[in-house]
Amino acid sequence: SAVISQKPSRDICQRGTSLTIQCQVDSQVTMMFWYRQQPGQSLTLIATANQGSEATYESGFVIDKFPISRPNLTFSTLTVSNMSPEDSSIYLCSVELGGLGGRNFGPGTRLTVT
Amino acid sequence: GQNIDQPTEMTATEGAIVQINCTYQTSGFNGLFWYQQHAGEAPTFLSYNVLDGLEEKGRFSSFLSRSKGYSYLLLKELQMKDSASYLCAVGNTDKLIFGTGTRLQVFP
């Protein structure tokens, strides 16, 4: 299965600033997914990123707050804009797992907003 | 709407068997997945069911009943390292929707 890396692994940011999270996959993939996991909670899908088209956002998430880039088939970025303490979460990049519809996850980026 | 429910927490003893239930109501279904997530780590894939019945994989088994919208994950011969959160997830077209997760604590 694909190996996924994310940068940064963690960060502490001030309210009102933005952070861009990078996701790199070791093989070409059609779809990349961004999830959020708030403290003590399960995973919530933020958006699906296809190369060459705009990301598709889930209900409750908007492009202005979470802009996504997908410049090629192995890389994507998620920006968390104008951060507030409520954005403190783990952000996980994910790709399809073996064509079953499951997911393989990156190690996550632990974001704390003060 | 989408609804996937699991018990919030469970406890068990080393060497025992534990069953973690998952019920779901989703607009579509193309498979049910179980993931394990240790604290501070990313989820890792455990099992996949698309047809009714039991799938066995070593100490872990997963069961699915599509007509009942029900699945369970069975963990046998529990070990301390099995203390983790277990996430049930339903595949719906190209999306994977996660349940609330069950935090399992294994005691000696």
Chain B contacts in chain A segment 34-63 (CB below 8 A): 41-45, 48
Q: Is residue A77 classed as helix, strand or coil in its secondary structure?
A: strand
Does B33 lie at the interface with A, CB-CB under 8 angstroms? yes
Burial of B8 (0-12, 13-18, 19+ CB in 10 A): exposed
Token pair 């790709």 is found at A95
Residue A50, CA atoms < 13 Å, CB-side half-sphere? 6
For residue A99, pLDDT over 80 is answered with no
Residue-wise pLDDT for B65-92, tens only, equals 999 999 999 999 999 999 999 999 999 8
* Buried-exposed string A82-104: b where 16+ CB fall within 10 A, e elsewhere: ebeeebbbbbbbbbbbeeebbbb
Q: Kindly report, residue by residue over A10-65, the tens digit of the pLDDT.
A: 999 999 999 999 999 999 998 999 999 998 888 999 999 988 888 999 999 999 99
Tell me, what amino acid is at B33?
Answer: F
Count of A-B CB contacts under 8 Å: 54
